Amino acid sequence: MTMTGRSNGLPSDGAWDSTLALLREGYDFIPRRCRRLHSDVFTTRLMLRRAVCISGRDAVAQFYVPGRFTRRGAMPTTTLTLLQDRGSVQTLDGEAHRQRKRLFLGLMSPQSIQRLVALADARWQARIRGWEARGGDIVLLDEVREILCGAACDWAGVPLGEGELEERTREFAAMIDGSGTAGPRNWRGQLLRRRSERWIRGLVEEVRQGRLSVPADSALQAVASHRDADGSPLPAKVAAVELINLLRPTVAVALYIVFAAHALHRNPEWRERLAGGSDAELEAFTQEVRRLYPFFPMIGGRVLQPFEWRGHRFEEGDWVLADLHGTNHDPRLWPDPEAFRPERFLPPEPPDENALVPQGGGDVRAGHRCPGEWITIALVKGALRQLCGAMRYEVPPQDLTIDLSRMPAPPQSGFILRNVRQGA
């Protein structure tokens, strides 16, 4: 039974507990209630805990004020252990967080990102030749995950043995696919996550013991030698967690690349435009893919520093969920938000950090915004160059439905390509 009412002065969705509704509705859970309650903030109960849900640009700006929220205790354990895990940078606050964040930001220089894109481009080219020689159909999501896993490992200095790429890709894909559920997909992801952690922990220990030599500027070397704010090296398990937190999100960019292919299929006029277009047009197309298509539904935090917003006082320990997907579809920010319009981002200007929030909001250096956003944009732009210029293909009839009740929500078919061949 669902009613509407008020809880401590805030609108309430009126449900005794909305956990099953969240699992059933997925990305639409917060936006649907905001529309029904005519409010950017409401209370609900999830897993028998009171939660405050907030949506919109102002809400995201409040959520990402540095030091205001902690991520500790704000994410279900079943999700935390697949996407971040204990001891990771996202679970830290204050100087500990800033010091660990420098590790990641130090790996995100323009030169480093360009090297990753070049490694991915080389793997794209090899795959295109293989697809042409093999003929038949390919599932783009599966193939791009392997491309990105191989490129990420090369970039990070992580050695892959003969035949190991498929196995490691499968592990990272299971973590991604299982993160939005508490059922069998999650259990499989947990099992394969433990296997990945053992593998990476072993590599960290080999580097520290001098038994494995890797490039001095590699991510593996950086993580193995990093020292936290107290001067101590990372425990091997935490070092493994942080290296996985570089590799797994890179593999997850495959979802955006498949969404970009989906957008090209639905908007074919953009194929020719991008094939001979400017970097600004590639960037605009990429940003509109990130805005329109589903990635992270929401982000959770617990209040560290009490504050007031919209006439309500948020107390220390309050559990707050900020609506990322709904903010990206907010008609106050994005006119006709369900339409695909890359022109929104032309001429190119830095987007509002609290309006375009597919990977979080706020300032990446000062807060908890994902530092991998730059990598995401660069890899999607690189993939668009391949899809629009380096290869030709057909899209056979298939189920391209994107089910917003599923988190994450790839096209049902994984996006099948047929008769792939090299571009002219």
Q: List the pLDDT tens digit at each of the 424 positions of the chain.
A: 344 555 567 999 999 999 999 999 999 999 999 999 999 999 999 999 999 999 999 999 999 999 999 988 888 888 878 877 777 777 777 888 888 888 888 999 999 999 999 999 999 999 999 999 999 999 999 999 999 999 999 999 999 998 899 999 999 999 999 988 888 998 899 999 999 999 999 999 999 999 999 999 999 999 999 998 888 999 999 999 999 999 999 999 999 999 999 999 999 999 999 998 789 999 999 999 999 999 999 999 999 999 999 989 999 999 999 999 999 999 999 999 999 999 999 987 888 889 999 999 987 666 667 778 999 999 999 999 999 999 999 999 999 999 999 999 999 999 999 999 998 6
Per the annotation, binding residues are 370
Q: Domain 56-422 falls in which CATH fold?
A: Cytochrome p450 (1.10.630)
Please check whether residue 40 is in contact with residue 59, taking contact to mean a CB–CB distance below 8 angstroms: yes
Angle between helices 94-105 and 236-266 (to 10 degrees): 60
* Half-sphere exposure (Cβ direction) of 287: Cα atoms closer than 13 Å: 24
Angle between helices 184-208 and 236-266 (to 10 degrees): 130
Give the residue carrying structure tokens 């059933």: 24
- Give the global pTM: 0.95
Q: Where are the domains of the chain?
A: 56-422
Per the annotation, binding residues for heme are 370
Residue 248's nearest CA partner among 75, 367, 82 is 82
Q: Using alpha carbons only, what angle is made at residue 60 by residues 58 and 65, rounded to the nearest 5 degrees?
A: 100
